[in-house]
Amino acid sequence: MIPAAFDYVRAASLTEAIGFLQDDPDGTKLVAGGHTLLPALKLRLASPNRLVDIGSIAELRGIEISGDTIRIGALTTHAELLASEPLNAELPIFRETARLIADPQVRNRGTIGGSLANADPAADWPAIAVALQAEIEIAGSNARRVAATDFFVDIFSTVLEQDEVLTALHIRKPASGMRFAYRKIRHPASGFAVVGVAAGICLTKGVVTAATVGITGAANRAFASHDAVDFLIGKALSRETIEQAARLASESTQCLSDRYASADYRANLIRIEVGRALLGLAS
Ligand SMILES: Cc1cc2nc3c(=O)[nH]c(=O)nc-3n(C[C@H](O)[C@H](O)[C@H](O)COP(=O)(O)OP(=O)(O)OC[C@H]3O[C@@H](n4cnc5c(N)ncnc54)[C@H](O)[C@@H]3O)c2cc1C
C-alpha cells in the first residue's frame, strides 16, 4: 500500500499544466482531488514518474451561469455541486446526484472533472453529463469541446489524449418544463452505481415533448438510450408507455457482468430504475 516514488509539482496555470504533460505525456499524471488517483497509486495500479497537482489553477474553478448556458469548472467538488443554490435552482439534479456520492470526506475533495476524466463505468456524473447533453471542454494542443456521449470510450477510457486537460463542463439550460431525476442502485460495499439512471422529460398537456435518458454502471461506459427517448416523444406518459420505454432502455446496450451482478441482472435493473425515474417524473 505504498506508492512507487514520484516527483510532485504544483501547476500555477493551465498553460503550465499542459507544458508539464507535453514534456513527458506517458510518465505524467494530473492530480485533482486525488480520491481516485491516490488509492490507485497505493495499489500500484498507476506508477507515474511525476504528479502534476492542478488543484490551485483558478481558471478550472467555479460555476458560471450566464444567459442560457452553465459552465462548471473541472475542479468543482461534489460538495460544491451539492451546495450551489444558483446551480440547483436551474438543475436540482446536481444536488440529487451529489448527495448520493460517497461521504462528506470524498465529496469535499473529489471533483467533477476528475470523475469524468477517470471514466469509471460505475461513476455517477457521466450519466448526468450524458442526460444533460453536456459538452466537455478540453485544453491542449487540440483545444475543443466534445459531446458527453462521444467523450466516454470504454472502461476508464475517454477521448482525452495524454497531454490534455479536461477544463469544464458546458450545459445548455433546459427548456422550461423539463424536469430531471437521478436514481441509483448502489453497490453495497463501494456505494458506486451498479446501475444509475438520469432521466428527464417535458410534458405538455400530458404528452412527452422532450425526453432524455442517461445510464451509468450497467455497461463499459455511460450512454444515452436513444431508443427509449424516440419511443417516448409524442406519447402520453401512461404506465404502459413507461414500461415500454424502460424495456427499450434495458435492451439498448450489452451490460457488464461481474461477481456482484450479471449482465441480465443489470439489464433488469435498468428496466426497473428507468421505469421508476419516469414514473416519478410523471406525477
Ligand atoms: C470511498 C470512495 C467512495 C466513492 N464513491 C463514489 C460514488 O459513489 N460515485 C462516484 O461517482 N464516485 C465515487 N468515488 C470517486 C470520487 O468521486 C472521486 O473523487 C472522483 O471520481 C475523481 O475525482 P478526483 O478529483 O478525486 O480525481 P483524481 O483522483 O485527482 O484523478 C482521477 C483521474 O483523473 C485524472 N484527472 C483528474 N482531473 C483531471 C482533469 N481536469 N483533466 C484530465 N484528467 C484529470 C487524473 O490524472 C486521474 O487519472 C468514490 C471515491 C472514494 C475514495
Does the pLDDT value for residue 1 go beyond 90? no
Residue 217 CA to ligand 1 center (angstroms) comes to: 15
Count of C-beta atoms within a 10 Å radius of residue 84: 20
Averaged pLDDT, 48-66? 97
What's the CATH number for 7-53? 3.30.43.10
Q: Whose CA is nearest to atom 16 of ligand 1?
A: 110
Ligand 1 nearest-atom number relative to CA 165: 42
Query: Phi and psi (nearest 5°) for 181?
Result: -145, 145
**Assigned CATH for 178-282:** 3.30.390.50
- Other CB atoms within 10 A of residue 79 CB: 18
* Residue appearing with cell numbers 428496466: 271
The span from the CA of 91 to the CA of 215, in Å, is 18
Looking at the structure, give the CATH architecture of the domain made up of residues 60-172: 2-Layer Sandwich (3.30)
Atom 47 of ligand 1, residue of closest alpha carbon: 30
Rounded to the nearest angstrom, the distance between the alpha carbon of 35 and the centre of ligand 1 is 5
Q: Residues lining ligand 1, judged by CB closer than 6 Å? A: 29-37, 74, 101-102, 106, 109-111, 113-115, 117-118, 123-125, 160, 165-166, 191-192
Q: Is the pLDDT of residue 283 over 90?
A: no
In this predicted structure, what is the pLDDT of residue 92?
97
Other residues' Cβ atoms within 10 Å of the Cβ of residue 251: 13
**Residue 128 confidence (pLDDT):** 98
pLDDT in tens, 120-153: 999 999 999 999 999 999 999 999 999 999 999 9
CB within 8 A of 251, min separation 6: which ones?
227, 267
Helix ranges (DSSP H) in 32-163: 37-42, 78-83, 85-90, 93-98, 104-109, 112-118, 125-131, 148-151
Domains of the chain by residue range: 7-53, 60-172, 178-282
pLDDT of residue 254: 93
Q: What percent of the chain has pLDDT over 90?
A: 98
CA 171–ligand 1 middle distance (angstroms): 21
Nearest CA, atom 14, ligand 1: 102
pLDDT digits (tens, 9 = 90+) for 69-96: 999 999 999 999 999 999 999 999 999 9
